[in-house]
Amino acid sequence: MEGADYLAAERKKTEFDVEEMKIVWAGSRHAFEVSDRISKLVANDPAFRKDERTMLPRKELFKNTLRKATYAWKRINELRLSEEEASKLRFYVDEPSFTDLHWGMFVPAIKGQGTDEQQRKWLPLAYKMQIIGCYAQTELGHGSNVQGLETTATFDPQTDEFVIHSPTLTSSKWWPGGLGKVSTHGLVYARLITDGQEHGIHGFIVQLRCLEDHKPLPGITIGDIGMKFGNGAYNTMDNGVLRFDHVRIPRDQMLMRVSRVTREGKVVESDVPRQLVYGTMVFVRQTIVQDASCALSRAVCIATRYSAVRRQFGSQNGGPETQVIDYKTQQSRLFPLLASAYAFRFVGEWLNWLYTDVMRRLQANEFSTLPEVHACTAGLKSLTTSVTADGIEECRKLCGGHGYLCTSGLPELFAVYVPACTYEGDNIVLQLQVARILMKTVSQLSSGKPPVGTMAYLGRIEPLMQYQCNVQKAKDWLNPNVVLEAFEARAARMSVSCAQKLSQFSYPEEGFAELSADLVEASVAHCQLIVVSKFIEKLQQDIPGKRVKQLLEVLCGIYSLALLHKHQGDFLATSCVTPKQASLANDQLRELYTQVRPNAIALVDAFNYTDHFLGSILGRYDGNVYPKLYEAAWKDPLNESVVPDGYHQYIRPLLKQQLRAAKL
């Protein structure tokens, strides 16, 4: 039986309507139809092929990326695609490029931080790509600590200009995507200085290259920072280095929606609340969480399909060997990742709603929920990207030796994705920020001020501290309220424990540094609770198809009980569950794996990914793995000749014992 037959047989086992699940995954029928149409458009266009990407030298790889990005823009205009459709097309092209930062950071920052007049000037140029922008914040010496940035923007009242300068080597801008070779403009973050006084970090639009010959403007040193992790992968992106030598720009190129500098050099706060920057932050982090679900689901799709194709051991009387997916050791590693992909998808949908809600509150000058929103989005960015990066690597290992091949798609997917654990906030730093707000919330519980949003459960701190799990048999863990209470009690008790330990220190910052590892664990527990609660809330919505909803309930159970099993030390140490109850949870988890097993292939088919987008021989929809692996091997440049280059110079002298005469 060939691989294609294996997957056909798997699909016959399906117990739910895959088309209905595709709509649930996409978020709506409209979103599914747009995604389906655009993904097939890209997959069927030979200009977007990517199967040779891992074998190209860096210069050729980068030039090919420029071609694809430009061709994509051409097709967007020819087809008159909407903003939603254009975004999907860039997503399915699946190649990091300068356009990611132009559309994902440069344009949103101008929309969020520029005045109406600045938006009228710069956005039309950016929308037409008559200028190409990047987001130049991170420096060689500072990343997470934005307040430590060293680049200066000093106002010169005599010329009505800012002087942008890099005073030290470590003040060099370092890492901005698109900066190295492509961007014509940068949104540069620098220390604002007027009349000898510093006024914090502000953003400035700076032209970097001539719009005629693309050469750097006077006073600007600019280039690429070099090769990065992986074959192909993020090396399609020109992450750059940038230094300024007293570069002058007009005063009106400082983004002045929140604060402005007058002609006389006075810094004046505008009527627009500074908190508006939260809107851009929530938007970016919501996108990152959605990207996490996409990246993890790709890896899970590859690993699940290959696990059904691959057979190893267990042959009875000369019959077929056992499918790898039938081993419980495989299921216990794979199915929680499948459940996590769905969980992250749904929490990403909720963050999209949260962004709309935050913007509405900001317009109404309502800022009371902002600290909690910051904590929530920071924590979820950290949690989902960490789990996804680890999950992709786990999927590679789940595919055995073949997972190490570039043609599996997994090494490149990991190399492309893993920077997400660092950009837009280092994941540990973000969890510590969440912990600060958790500690502040716990300290204010006695003031009568109720916690809000995802921290509202802390308002029930007394019953949560007295909570005793009443699970008596394994099936009791199928009750979502039982699961939710256990996760709430664990998160609350870990936060309270940290707060109590902090109170014993004379200097709070000393305590925070000493207890930082414990605080990160409390923060992670809080964030896991958010994901569990949003998965449960999703199940309370109107979901098409009874069996679809039942399978999602099973996935929700796997996600939560797998977490409970993995972190049972927390649950036991905080007395949220007994050892017997933890054991029952694991018994129920194994039963849920059994329920998912016949539907596993259909659950990953519901992601609706084309073979082009997956970029994996192991994850092919038709399951025809082995012939395609064999065929791909002969396409490697090393196989262009039977006798390798260097044979006569190195190998032959070695074999003939003529090394003394060889020119090595």
What are the beta bridge partners of residue 267?
261
Minimal CA–CA distance to 446: which of 402, 408, 496, 373?
Answer: 496
Which residues are part of the catalytic machinery?
424
Contact 173, 143 (CB under 8 A): no
User: Largest Cα–Cα distance of the chain, in whole Å?
Assistant: 92
68: how many CB neighbours lie within 10 A of its CB?
21
What does each C-alpha distance from 260 to 164, 249, 267, 270, 486 come to in angstroms? 17, 15, 6, 7, 50
The two structure tokens encoding residue 545? 């198809």
Q: Output the DSSP codes for 81-114.
A: --HHHHHHHHHHH----HHHHIIIIIHHHHHHHS
* CA–CA distance, 65 with 97 (Å, rounded to integer): 7
* CA–CA distance, 208 with 282 (Å, rounded to integer): 29
Strands 152-156 and 185-194: parallel
Q: What is the dihedral of CA 424, 426, 427, 433, to 10 degrees?
A: -90
Minimal CA–CA distance to 300: which of 418, 380, 402, 398?
Answer: 398
Q: Which amino acid is at 249?
A: I
What does each C-alpha distance from 425 to 13, 281, 377, 433, 627 come to in angstroms? 43, 11, 11, 10, 43
Q: Output the DSSP codes for 129-198.
A: TSS-EEEE--BSS-SS-GGG---EEEEETTTTEEEEE--SGGGSEE--TTTTTT-SEEEEEEEEEETTEE
* CA–CA distance, 635 with 161 (Å, rounded to integer): 57
123 Cβ contact partners less than 8 Å away, ≥ 6 residues apart: 107, 110, 111, 114
* CA–CA distance, 89 with 99 (Å, rounded to integer): 12
What does each C-alpha distance from 263 to 152, 259, 340, 466, 605 come to in angstroms? 19, 13, 54, 62, 60
* CA–CA distance, 591 with 602 (Å, rounded to integer): 19
Size of the chain in residues: 664
SS3 state of residue 543: coil
Minimal CA–CA distance to 487: which of 564, 592, 581?
Answer: 564
If phi > 0 it is left, if psi is from -120 to 50 it is alpha, else beta; for residue 355 that is: alpha
Q: How many CA atoms lie within 13 Å of 315's alpha carbon, on the beta-carbon side?
A: 8
Backbone angles phi, psi at 440, to 5 degrees: -65, -40
SS3 state of residue 451: coil
Q: How many CA atoms lie within 13 Å of 621's alpha carbon, on the beta-carbon side?
A: 11
